Structure 1
Amino acid sequence: MRQILIVGAGQSGLQLALGLQAHGYDVTLMSNRTADEIRYGRVMSTQCMFHTALQHERDLGLNFWEPQAPRIEGLGISVAGPEGARAVDWVGRLDGYAQSVDQRVKMAGWMDTFAQRGGRLVIHGAAVSDLDFFARTYDLVLVAAGKGELVSMFERDAERSPFSEPQRALAVAYVHGMGPRPEHPDFDAVRCNLVPGVGELFVMPTLTTSGRADILFWEGLPGGPLDVFRGVKDPAEHLALTLRLMERFTPWEYARATGVELTDAGGTLAGRYAPTVRKPVGRLPGGGAVLGVADVVVANDPITGQGSNSAAKCAASYLASILEHGDRPFDEEWMRAAFDRYWDTARHVTKWTNAMLGAPPEHVLRLIGAGQELPAVAHRFANGFDDPADFEDFLYDPAKTDAFLETAAKA
């Protein structure tokens, strides 16, 4: 029986641990927090998982909250115009619904399941010195903890990392009491509100510890009018600031948020980080090697909502690579090959995300604007959130954009 250690109990670490466990591997999972500390703690992220990522969970029988979580059937884009109006506003229907489950609910539940199924769960913050010992004990050590000392073991890949500084200041609030969008009151949708030169507001339905809720998520250009959450510790002040900014920059969203309240005292989050791709193999002082997982090695800005999706896809890809490898040694060559297999998918997310962080070129503005008049454009753009590889065929090259718009106009 192969012995595998996974450090980090997020989407990727837990999904991979449960998948390996189901195939008879001896899995140890290290987390720096207990399930209850996660369950009753502060929100850790925003997350909206699209069809492909959700299917990875279904394949492992881990979709415990699918009946309760809101079914997100559309994705909309709004672009702020002058004087509080919207220059662009449309919604594309998703071919397969998306869902968001607060990671406090999912990660705590999956940790309990892993332990109940006989997995070895170690509550301990791991240091590099710990891994130096474990690398000699286990057949394979995977690092899925995307923050802290362990990340420093993985060298930044300069060719794949164009940014060295954070590109957005992030602020999240989980709320109850959000009203429906009058344009589509009969189905749930993620709303992406673009405020040129300022930032973005994302609104998404979710399932949290207290039931159905909505996530209000500001991404602000550093130094701009949205970059005001640093140092705000009081959750009520955080929400009030969120709403004031909505009233100023996205009044159409503020109109349905006037009666909201925080889901709980831990329902806010703020921070920033530089999008970074790292080399997949971390080398230990004693000569051992460990493999980085998900945002340890590919950390994109959340502007395209791909974090949990990428984590699920990475876990599924690594699971396949491990199962196919049988009883052969997990050497550095295998580690790089496993990452390259995942990167074949992840590279499309990184390219798309980095493109969306910059000022959109003229042909992209035309494409987004066309979604208002051409349902085929809205539909394809929305479904690109599930399959970012499709953007290669119509987003980056003006000639391909024009060809697609011409075809869409005839549909």
Structure 2
Amino acid sequence: MRKILVVGAGQSGLQIALGLQSQGYEVTLMSNRTADEIRTGRVMSTQCMFHTALQHERDLQLNFWESQAPKIEGLGVSVAAPGSWAEGPAARAIDWLGRLDGYAQSIDQRVKMAGWMETFAQRGGQLVIHGAAVGDLDYFSRTYDLVLVAAGKGELVQMFARDPERSPYSEPQRALAVSYVHGLGPRPEHPGTEGVRCNLVPGVGELFVMPCLTTSGRADILFWEGIPGGPLDVFNGVKDPAEHLSLTLELMERYVPWEYARATKVELTDAGGTLAGRYAPTVRNPIGRLPGGGLVLGVADVVVANDPITGQGSNSASKCAAAYLSSIVERGDKPFDEEWMRATFDRYWATAQHVTKWTNAMLAPPPEHILNLIGAAGELQPVADRFANGFNDPADFENFFYDPEKTQAYLVEVSGAGAA
């Protein structure tokens, strides 16, 4: 029986650990927090997961909360008219809702990670509650067949060198601020449809609104992404959750008044329901070398960390876990050597490269053909639907998004089909 150590108990680490456990591997999972500490701690992300990522969980029968979590059936885009907020609340230039082929869901990671961790222990897995340092891994690499590093923050990440060719940004491109709330009203324009709302405020940033399941039941997430140094970049140093929510709402009233209109009665879900921070999007070398000569393999956002602007973090983590799981099982009893590690990451990168390309494109000011595409989606439902479903499969953006000629050809084709 092969012995595998997974360091880090997030989406990817737990999904891999539980998947290997179900295949009969001897798995040890290291977490720096207990399940109870996670459950009662601060929110960690916004985690809207689309169909393919959710299916990976279903395949492992880990979709414990699927019937409780809101089913997100659409993805809407609104664009504020540039400069319209100078004299008062912003005006909306574009507003549409694309339909998803398969629903999405957002389950607070405090709920999911705590539940999955308890399941792993109940099924006989060895759970070690301890922060891991490089020195610990040096020791463990001699006693395990494979060490996977799935802890995306702290000292361990430094073992994986930045890949400059795949990392165009060296600084954070957005300042992030998250609030989990109860009491958000419905969107009157699209009654009866649960949707993620992407509100774009040109030159300022973005507000995402999404329904989720949290520790206290159904809730909504208000998520600002502000251009650094701009009017939304005001959460640094705000420690009081009430002040964080107050700032969030103040900014909504000015820049996205159509969302603020339904947020006048919201309150935080709990004292841990806010989060703020920033990080530079980075792709790293997937193999970490230990002082004693051992090798470890980086997982998910340890090696591919994208800005959350395209909502891909948990999706990528789930897809990475599925790819790594297949590679480990297919390896049988052969050694997990450097060549295998490289091939295993490349298998994941085949998917992840599309996410990185799209996310980095969305962080830059949109070129004219993208503005045309987003505008056309308001008139042509197939365009809205295709854009929405790109969140599930970002590889499709290659076909109609980046190249102005492909975008134009696609819009002509859809317009013609509509006319016919």
TM-score by length of structure 1 reads: 1.00
1:135 matches 2:144: no
1:381 matches 2:391: no
Partner of 2:27: 27
1:254 matches 2:271: no
- d(CA) in 1 for partners of 2:213, 2:63: 13
SS of 2:144's equivalent? Answer: coil
- d(CA) in 2 for partners of 1:131, 1:208: 34
1:219 matches 2:228: no
- d(CA) in 1 for partners of 2:414, 2:238: 46
Partner of 1:310: 316
SS of 1:5's equivalent? Answer: strand
Q: How does 1:91-106 map to 2 (within 5 A)?
A: 91-106=97-112
1:59 matches 2:65: no
- d(CA) in 2 for partners of 1:406, 1:93: 21
| Deviation readout 1:143-183 (Å, 9 max, x if unpaired) | 00000000000000000000000000000000000000001
Partner of 2:128: 122
Q: Percent identity?
A: 82
Shift of 1:244: 0.0
Partner of 1:148: 154
Partner of 1:292: 298
Shift of 1:309: 0.1
Q: Return 266-275 or 401-410, whichever deviates more.
A: 401-410
Shift of 1:185: 1.6
| Deviation readout 1:108-145 (Å, 9 max, x if unpaired) | 00000000000000000000000000000000000000
TM-score by length of structure 2 reads: 0.98
- d(CA) in 1 for partners of 2:361, 2:203: 15
SS of 1:99's equivalent? Answer: strand
Partner of 1:77: 77
Shift of 1:408: 1.2
Shift of 1:410: 2.3
- d(CA) in 2 for partners of 1:250, 1:220: 13
| Deviation readout 1:340-381 (Å, 9 max, x if unpaired) | 000000000000000000000000000000010000100000
Shift of 1:184: 1.2
- d(CA) in 2 for partners of 1:232, 1:173: 13
Partner of 1:36: 36
SS of 1:190's equivalent? Answer: strand
Partner of 1:173: 179
Amino acid at match of 1:27: V
Shift of 1:187: 1.3
- d(CA) in 2 for partners of 1:183, 1:335: 49
Amino acid at match of 2:414: A
Partner of 2:8: 8
SS of 1:219's equivalent? Answer: strand
Note the residue ranges of structure 1 that are not aligned, 5 or more in a row: none
- d(CA) in 1 for partners of 2:386, 2:367: 19
| Deviation readout 1:263-292 (Å, 9 max, x if unpaired) | 000000000000000000000000000000
Amino acid at match of 1:304: T
- d(CA) in 2 for partners of 1:131, 1:408: 54
Aligned length: 411
1:196 matches 2:191: no
Amino acid at match of 2:57: E
Amino acid at match of 1:407: E
Amino acid at match of 2:366: P
- d(CA) in 2 for partners of 1:196, 1:392: 24
- d(CA) in 2 for partners of 1:215, 1:39: 17
- Alignment RMSD (CA, Å): 0.5
| Deviation readout 1:282-328 (Å, 9 max, x if unpaired) | 00000000000000000000000000000000000000000000000
Amino acid at match of 1:363: H
Amino acid at match of 2:182: H
- d(CA) in 2 for partners of 1:381, 1:251: 24
- d(CA) in 2 for partners of 1:128, 1:271: 25
- d(CA) in 1 for partners of 2:116, 2:415: 46
Partner of 1:358: 364
Amino acid at match of 1:233: K
- d(CA) in 2 for partners of 1:305, 1:333: 31
